[in-house]
């Protein structure tokens, strides 16, 4: 039996009526409300990196040990995405979004109050729990409010909040933390979550949960090979971007020969690339999700090689960094949409798992980049790691396509 939920996430070309399944009084404001949650999440996720020295001193640990605070948040995302999606699939989606933002606000507030390293680790883990589920449910709500032919653009506009956070939220929160203490940054994130909570409650229309959802049905997503292949493509293919992003500061100063003040400029271009790429990704998704994934993966591989070649030449690598994140964002948005398509009836769990996959990519790319640097291959070597990971992601996607075609041939469809 095909449910209404699955009909909302099929290819737009198969819809007989190009009308939304949920009507919003103010579509634009509803999308802004959903994107605000992404802005809050992106701000707290990445500001920890900018304030790591201050945070480490604040809880009396070394910087390498303090870095585990970032890992604790990522683990929270990986654990929380399937768990909260599993538990919340039947709940009304607007109410679930409000609850997730409330939990996110509490997690950041407790982070700001932490007085020891152990308390901060637990608080960051708790703050990460709602991350993946929020993006998954918000994407489903955005898709339901949009005409099927514009579903990709609606989802990309929600994800735009995360991209804008890297341009505006993270620098502002970092400056706030430097001036008023690192705890102020987490209080700011908690405040953004409360604002999001109010906006979602006011502007997002009532969206019923899936009344037919059950634990067994949600877990059925993990029985679908295409779900695993899509998650693997994200965990491996997007790891390429993190292999470069993690070590961008020493590359800029030690390889490109630029001063420390050049690092924020590079980070700004990373953020601008995310914004542009997320917007372009929505347009491309409405053309073809799978072709967009291939373009994103192959393009990332090519720009990784270009970054390796241009890194020694000062500012020459700056536009390449922009292109890397444009293509990476195309990959992220379309992975989200593909998971929504291939998860079948397990819509909530499938949509939520994308960010769990991306956090695995974060850990994998950073780890492999560190391995090649520690092995003596130099600071440019992570770009080549990124190239290999990007191409590996493309190979996984091609395997997915092959299995899909074979499945259609066997069933005669």
Q: What is the pLDDT of residues 226-283, one digit of tens each?
A: 889 999 999 999 988 888 887 887 888 889 898 877 877 888 888 899 899 988 998 8
DSSP annotation string for 228-259: HHHHHHHHHHTHHHHHHHTTHHHIIIIIS---
pLDDT of residue 343: 76
Tally: H helices and E strands in the chain: 19, 0
CATH number at 24-211 = 1.20.1250.20
Q: Which residue has the higher pLDDT, 19 or 86?
A: 86
Instruction: Write down the pLDDT at residue 8.
Output: 37
Half-sphere exposure of 2 toward its Cβ, with a 13 Å CA cutoff? 6
pLDDT at 10: 38
Residue 112: predicted pLDDT: 96
335/259 Cα distance (integer angstroms): 36
Task: Give CA–CA dist 138/176, Å, rounded.
Answer: 28
Distance CA 162, CA 231 (A): 20
**50-102 pLDDT per residue, tens:** 787 788 889 998 876 777 788 789 889 889 888 887 787 778 889 999 999 99
- Please report the pLDDT score of residue 11 as a whole number: 40
Whether residue 3 is predicted with pLDDT greater than 70 in this model: the reply is no
Is there a common fold for 24-211 and 214-413? Answer: yes
How confident is the model over 4-25, as a mean pLDDT?
A: 49
CA distances from 401 to 158, 294, 301 (A): 27, 11, 19
Give the whole-angstrom CA distance, residue 387 versus residue 325: 14
The fold adopted by the segment(s) 214-413 is Growth Hormone; Chain: A; (1.20.1250)
Percent of the chain, pLDDT > 90? 38
Is this prediction's pTM over 0.85? Answer: no
Q: Where are the domains of the chain?
A: 24-211, 214-413
CA distance 361 to 243: 9
Where would I find the H helices in 204-317?
Answer: 215-219, 225-237, 239-245, 248-250, 263-287, 289-310
Distances (CA, A) of 199 to 29, 136, 192, 193, 203: 8, 18, 11, 10, 6
């Amino acid at each position: 039996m095909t449910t209404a939920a699955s009909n909302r996430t099929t290819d737009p070309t198969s819809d007989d009526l190009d009308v939304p399944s949920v009507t919003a009084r103010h579509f634009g404001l509803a999308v802004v409300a959903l994107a605000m949650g992404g802005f809050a999440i992106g701000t707290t996720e990445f500001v920890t990196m900018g304030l790591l020295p201050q945070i480490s001193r604040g809880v009396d640990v070394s910087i390498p040990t303090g870095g585990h605070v970032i890992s604790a948040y990522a683990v929270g995302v990986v654990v929380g995405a399937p768990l909260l999606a599993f538990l919340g699939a039947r709940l009304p989606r607007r109410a679930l979004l409000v609850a997730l933002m409330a939990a996110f606000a509490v997690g950041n507030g407790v982070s700001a109050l932490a007085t020891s390293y152990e308390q901060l680790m637990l608080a960051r883990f708790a703050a990460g729990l709602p991350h993946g589920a929020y993006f998954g449910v918000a994407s489903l709500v955005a898709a339901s409010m949009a005409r099927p032919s514009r579903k990709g653009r609606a989802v990309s506009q929600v994800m735009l909040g995360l991209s804008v956070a890297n341009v505006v939220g993270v620098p502002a929160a970092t400056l706030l933390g430097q001036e008023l203490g690192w705890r102020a940054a987490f209080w700011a994130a908690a405040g953004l979550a409360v604002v999001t909570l109010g906006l979602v409650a006011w502007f997002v229309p009532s969206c019923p949960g899936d009344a037919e959802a059950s634990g067994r049905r949600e877990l059925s997503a993990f029985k679908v090979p295409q779900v695993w292949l899509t998650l693997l493509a994200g965990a491996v293919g997007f790891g390429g971007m993190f292999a470069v992003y993690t070590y961008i500061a020493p590359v800029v100063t030690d390889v490109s020969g630029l001063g420390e003040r050049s690092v924020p400029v590079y980070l700004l271009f990373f953020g601008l690339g995310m914004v542009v790429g997320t917007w372009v990704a929505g347009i491309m998704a409405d053309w073809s999700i799978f072709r967009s994934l291939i373009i994103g993966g192959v393009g990332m591989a090519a720009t990784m090689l270009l970054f390796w070649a241009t890194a020694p030449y000062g500012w020459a690598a700056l536009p390449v960094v922009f292109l890397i994140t444009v293509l990476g964002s195309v990959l992220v948005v379309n992975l989200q949409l593909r998971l929504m398509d291939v998860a079948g009836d397990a819509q909530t769990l499938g949509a939520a798992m994308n960010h769990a996959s991306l956090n695995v990519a974060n850990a994998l790319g950073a780890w492999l980049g560190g391995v090649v640097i520690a092995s003596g291959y130099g600071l440019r070597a992570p770009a080549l790691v990124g190239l290999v990971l990007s191409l590996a992601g493309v190979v996984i996607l091609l395997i997915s396509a092959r299995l899909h075609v074979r499945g259609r041939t066997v069933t005669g469809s």
